[in-house]
Amino acid sequence: MFIHYIDLAWRSLRQTPLVTFLMILAIAIGIGVTMTTLSVYHMMSMDPIPHKSERLFSLQLQTMDDGETWLTPDDIPYQLTYTDAINLDAFPGDYLSAPMLRSGFSVHLNTASSKPFIENTRVTGRDFFTMFDLTFLHGNVWTEEQERDAAPVVVIDEEMAKQLFGKTDVVGESVFLGERRHEVVGVTQKWRPTIKFYDLNNGSFGKAERMFAPFSHVKAYDVDTWGNTNGWKFEETRDFNDKMNSEMLWVQFWVQLDTPQQRQAYGDMLMAYMQQQQKLGRFNRETLQYSLQDVNAWMNYNDVISEDNKILVGLSFMFLAVCVANILGLLLAKFMRRAPDVGVRRALGASKRQVFYQHLVEVGVLGLLGGSLGVLFAQLGLLGVRQTYNYYAGLANMDWMMLLSAPALAISACILAGLYPAWLVCRTTPATHLKVQ
Amino acid sequence: MFELKPTINALMRSKLGAVLLILQLAITLAIVSNAVSIIQDRLTYLNKDTGYPEAEIFKFNALNFDKNLDLLQQVELDEQTLRDLNGVIDATAVSSVVLSGSGSSGGMQLKPEPQESKRVNMGYVTGDEHLLNTLGVKVSEGRDFTEADVVVIDESDARPSVIIVSRSLSDELFGQGKGLGETLYWGADPLTIVGIVDTMANQWPKSSFGTKTAMIPMIRVGNFQKFLVRTAPQDRAQVMRQIEELMLASHRERVISDVTGLDKKKARYDAKDVLMMRMLMTLIVVLVIVTALGVFGLSTFNISKRTKQIGTRRALGARKSAIVRYFVVENALICSVGLVLGGAAAVLLGQKLMNWYSVPALSYHFIATTAGLLLLMSLLSVLMPALRAANISPSIATRSV
């Protein structure tokens, strides 16, 4: 029966090519516009690390004196001081934690033929790789001793290994960061999350780094951040050592806490730590405050989804509503015109339910056609987005979920539009139309 | 003469079609007027004068990695090399690049820290006495920096003592038209305003303090050094091509990167706004097309439904013009209701957008203009089916369907 209805639908659509074309065009444009904005929204709001996003926490400490305010909704600074990051990373306990910052070096092989290039580098602790699921192809992360001694070592990814050496197995090879020789101890698989969720300070959709160095290098080699440094009070800082000892905020800190017990214990430790620091003259506050936010909360807190995008998604759904109203009108016209045919079918024994069902199938076919064309329109739209704003290149794409939801949305929209006309037409009383004929 | 009563009566008998049209027009008006308002706001920003001849200026970075290099000496050598280059008007090493979206900002205040006083946020750039000339801006009051003003940090404990600010910064601190010769405080350091530039955007022209800019005569060299170069507009491309080779010839152990025109830098900074504008424009265009198609489709349907009645009216002596008028009046009625509702919806949507997001208030003339244009579009879309209806032969009345 379903096949038969599809056949009927096809015949009916071909009977009125102009109206059919208009309806398909309307739904396709509506879907095209909606899917363009929705795809970008979807990519921006997607959980970047679904299986453990609830166990990874970005740490914030309220280091500022009472009365100071910050740009964040809760007035707690985004980043930590170097002192706190180092102290907290040294906490004993069976959880993973990583202080980190974005820096960069001019990288070369110290040969005449290798042209130096600038490479963004994540300077971080050993736990980073486990916490954020990086896979090692060759070698491994630097050892605890190497971390402690600030040994000149690096981890690079396969893409960079190929760029430098033409192969991926380069453990033991040397690369130069500026004038300093470093040994490659590990090569990771390419890792490029669409959202740079572990570092939302430096552009949420920037590329993930391809090179990693131990956090102890910060002190040993005066590695400064290439990201933001924020101060909240006047401090005389003449050199890098002053900066490391200052109240300036420039280090990010993530911790992995697997169980509520761990979370509780960690929170207690943070409070104890702040109280201890208070005795040293820091944290001049009535109430001590920290914040641990998991990956999704952190993205929300950092407004990863742009305001413009939210406005566009809202407007395009309103636009889709216009398209639905449009199609409703056209369907009404089309179905009512066919009332005499329906009268004959009803007279010949078709039930109301069958007539209703048949018309909904027709509307569904319309939605499927419109949705498919809509996907094409959306691809054009996304191409336009990528061309206008290169930075969104990784975001302006449709994944399989979006590709499937486009026809689904189109069919639902069409069925929504078709319900009333189909109901009207199935109520046709056979007698009236038979009489006129 | 418009036969309003029969028209309304006829409408009341087949309400749904009219309701759908009203709905479409109302939503269209709400979306389009708000979208136009947002576009207008972005356009105003994009067309705003930054004060710089962006097409004549470009920037580049040099990252040195030679530990033994005398950085200051190298920077001075580089500056001289650049200034001697054919086609270059001026060049200077800077702390950050205006219009680029990255750099240093801070507060300037009336009293030294830690005293409480009025504080104004601003973006600042440090460089030497060539800074203003390289940026292509001129002081409208006071004087430019001289060589004696420039302080090299790290050589001594010396601090800069003078500053040049944008008019909007001095106005905010000292009041309209004042500021020249006054002293402001940067942290605890006093700086005397020796010059004021009328228009001079900072690194974040889009921000709330985008016009508040300070130029400080100070050189602090580091491994990572930014340079600005101004050339005659026609020479820029050719000078930019030479930069990397020229800089590496003078010192090999460094990386030259991001040789980019200031106009391109600004375009990158603005790309998000351009994207929003294009998306909204696309939305408006397709929305108007879809609505026009809706009006067209529905009138066509109405007319075909009423073929017999039209024939009867014609047979009873109605002129062709009366038939056309009937449909146009009918459409105008529907349209007016839709636009009145849409006007209210537009105001409501505008308020919601303003509450939730940083969108400017929707001014009523956008709604009025959009409504006028939508009415025109609607009447144009109904005209063709109406003219076709007028051509229906009266004899149709005597035939059965």
pLDDT digits (tens, 9 = 90+) for B49-66: 999 999 999 999 999 888
The verdict on a CB contact (< 8 Å) between B286 and A33 is yes
Contact assessment for residue B219 and residue B128, using Cβ atoms and an 8 Å cutoff: yes
Q: Phi-psi region for residue B332, left (φ > 0), alpha (ψ -120 to 50) or beta?
A: alpha
- A208 token code pair: 């993930």
Taking residue B235's Cβ as centre, other Cβ atoms within 10 Å add up to 15
> Nearest residue of B to residue A223 by CA position?
B223
**pLDDT at position B401 over 70:** no
Rounded to 10°, the helix A400-426/A339-347 angle is 70
Q: Which of B328, B319, B343 is nearest to B386 (CA)?
A: B328
Task: Report the amino acid identity of residue B239.
Answer: V
What's the whole-model pTM score?
0.85
State the best of B13, B19, B20 to mutate against chain A, taking most chain A CBs within 10 Å. Answer: B20
Give mean pLDDT, residues A366-386. 94
**B269 CA: distance to closest CA in chain A (Å):** 10
Helix (H, G, I), strand (E, B) or coil at A154: strand
What's the start-to-end Cα distance of chain A, in Å? Answer: 28
Taking residue A208's Cβ as centre, other Cβ atoms within 10 Å add up to 19
- Sorted by sequence, the CB contacts under 8 Å of residue B305 that are 6+ apart come out as A333, A336, A337
pLDDT-based confidence at residue A433 (cuts at 50, 70, 90) = low
- Sorted by sequence, the CB contacts under 8 Å of residue B98 that are 6+ apart come out as B50, B52, B123, B125, B135, B200, B201, B202, B203, B213, B262
> Nearest residue of B to residue A323 by CA position?
B290
Domains of chain B: 4-47+270-397 (1.20.1050), 66-252 (no CATH)
The b/e string for A374-383 (b: 16+ C-beta within 10 A; e otherwise) is: bbebbbebbe
- DSSP assignment of B202-252: -S-TTSTTTT-EEEEEEE---SEEEEEEEE-GGGHHHHHHHHHHHHHHH-S
The verdict on a CB contact (< 8 Å) between A325 and B359 is no
The verdict on a CB contact (< 8 Å) between B301 and A308 is no
**A134 CA: distance to closest CA in chain B (Å):** 29
According to the 3-state scheme, what is the secondary structure of A32-73? HHHHHHHHHHHHHHCCCCCCCCCCEEEEEECCCCCCCCCCCC
Give mean pLDDT, residues B250-272. 92
- A182 token code pair: 């470093």
The verdict on a CB contact (< 8 Å) between A311 and B188 is no
- Sorted by sequence, the CB contacts under 8 Å of residue A372 that are 6+ apart come out as A407
In the DSSP assignment, the letter for residue B398 is G
The confidence score (pLDDT) of residue A165 equals: 94
The verdict on a CB contact (< 8 Å) between B293 and A26 is yes
Q: Measure CB to CB from residue A322 to each of B24, B271, B301 and give the nearest one.
A: B24
Contact assessment for residue A9 and residue A362, using Cβ atoms and an 8 Å cutoff: yes
Q: What is the rounded CA–CA span in Å between residue A197 and residue A299?
A: 7
The verdict on a CB contact (< 8 Å) between A315 and B66 is no
Q: What is the rounded CA–CA span in Å between residue A265 and residue A270?
A: 9
The verdict on a CB contact (< 8 Å) between B275 and A308 is yes
**B252 CA: distance to closest CA in chain A (Å):** 10
The confidence score (pLDDT) of residue B158 equals: 80
Which is it for the CA torsion B162, B167, B168, B174, positive or negative? positive
**B275 CA: distance to closest CA in chain A (Å):** 6
The confidence score (pLDDT) of residue B2 equals: 66
> Nearest residue of B to residue A37 by CA position?
B279
| Alpha helix (H) residue ranges in A389-399 | none
The confidence score (pLDDT) of residue A437 equals: 46
**A312 CA: distance to closest CA in chain B (Å):** 8
Return the bridge partners of B125, or none: B215
- A123 token code pair: 């300077």
Contact assessment for residue B169 and residue B91, using Cβ atoms and an 8 Å cutoff: no
State the best of A223, A243, A318 to mutate against chain B, taking most chain B CBs within 10 Å. Answer: A318
**For B105, how many CA atoms within 13 A lie in the half-sphere containing its CB?**
25
- Model confidence over B134-165: pLDDT tens digits? 999 999 999 999 999 999 987 667 889 999 99
Q: Which of A85, A111, A80, A81 is nearest to A97 (CA)?
A: A85
Length of chain A: 437
Give mean pLDDT, residues B352-364. 87
**pLDDT at position B99 over 90:** yes
The confidence score (pLDDT) of residue B301 equals: 75
- Model confidence over A10-23: pLDDT tens digits? 888 888 888 888 88
